[in-house]
């Protein structure tokens, strides 16, 4: 999952050099709204926090399997405790967090639309008219862009170039649109599942990360079941 930059809290940490539980305790103390991104050779995962408490998670493993929600959070923490996992922590606004949660639990509005027949300017205008909350994923030959919206307006985004360079913020919107106009591209449009607006995301129950302590110790990790 390509995440927006946000404000950097911690970067380039590894689970072998920090106490994972202490990291989450510190984020809970700070009441951080944002994410913890975990990466290793065979998986990547993201835990989303609102005011320091868990709201959602997504885990992707090499086999192509994707797990979301509490099971993903429990397994990400277990992997961090048992191996060398890279950790990055970012702070984002409530609006961006809502859009990211919507991306994890999404409903597809449009899928695999081709740039051959979609005018990007008209599409963006249509989403603004609809007051769309969610995201657009645009895949081009030169990179992949993810544009986040709230009530029809751009709030953040990322564009990952083919060479691995990532652009965030308003520059990502410009880079994505420019890439779309230069090369063949496909578009996917998503909105939060069963949610009419971003405010509904705030109603998702929050759970302290410490609540996952027993879960990670008593249940087998997802990777052990593969």
Q: Same domain for 123 and 171? A: yes
Which residue segment(s) compose the domain that 65 sits in? Answer: 7-98+202-225
Model confidence pLDDT, tens digit, residues 97-150: 888 887 787 778 888 999 999 999 999 999 999 988 888 999 999 999 999 998
pLDDT, residue 96, reads 87
Give the total number of structural domains in the chain.
2
Which strands make up the sheet holding 143-150, listed edge to edge?
A: 106-114, 185-192, 134-140, 143-150, 153-161, 166-168
29 pLDDT tier (thresholds 50, 70, 90): very high
Model confidence pLDDT, tens digit, residues 80-89: 988 899 999 9
Overall pTM surpassing 0.85 (yes/no): no
Q: Same domain for 141 and 85? A: no
Does position 198 have pLDDT exceeding 70, yes or no? no
Residue 31 lies inside a defined structural domain of this protein: yes
pLDDT, residue 5, reads 65
Question: How many residues are there in the chain?
Answer: 226
Q: Report CA-CA distances (Å) from 135 to 92, 113, 218.
A: 16, 14, 36
């Amino acid at each position: 999952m390509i995440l927006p930059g946000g404000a950097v809290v911690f970067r380039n940490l590894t689970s072998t050099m920090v106490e994972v539980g202490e990291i989450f305790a510190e984020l809970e103390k700070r009441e951080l709204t944002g994410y913890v991104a975990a990466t290793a050779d065979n998986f990547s995962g993201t835990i989303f926090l609102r005011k320091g408490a868990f709201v959602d998670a997504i885990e992707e493993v090499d086999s192509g399997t994707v797990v979301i929600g509490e099971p993903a959070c429990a397994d990400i923490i277990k992997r961090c405790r048992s191996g060398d996992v890279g950790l990055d922590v970012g702070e984002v606004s409530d609006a961006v967090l809502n859009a990211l949660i919507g991306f994890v639990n999404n409903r597809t509005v449009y899928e695999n639309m081709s740039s051959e027949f979609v005018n990007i300017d008209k599409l963006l205008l249509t989403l603004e008219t609809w007051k769309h909350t969610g995201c657009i994923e645009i895949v081009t030959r030169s990179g992949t862009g993810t544009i986040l919206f709230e009530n029809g307006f751009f709030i953040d985004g990322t564009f990952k170039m083919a060479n691995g360079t990532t652009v965030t913020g308003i520059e990502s919107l410009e880079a994505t649109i420019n890439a779309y106009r230069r090369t063949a591209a496909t578009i996917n449009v998503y909105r939060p599942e069963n949610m009419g607006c971003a405010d509904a995301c705030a109603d998702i129950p929050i759970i302290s990360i410490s609540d996952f302590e027993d879960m990670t110790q008593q249940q087998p990790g997802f990777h052990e079941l593969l």
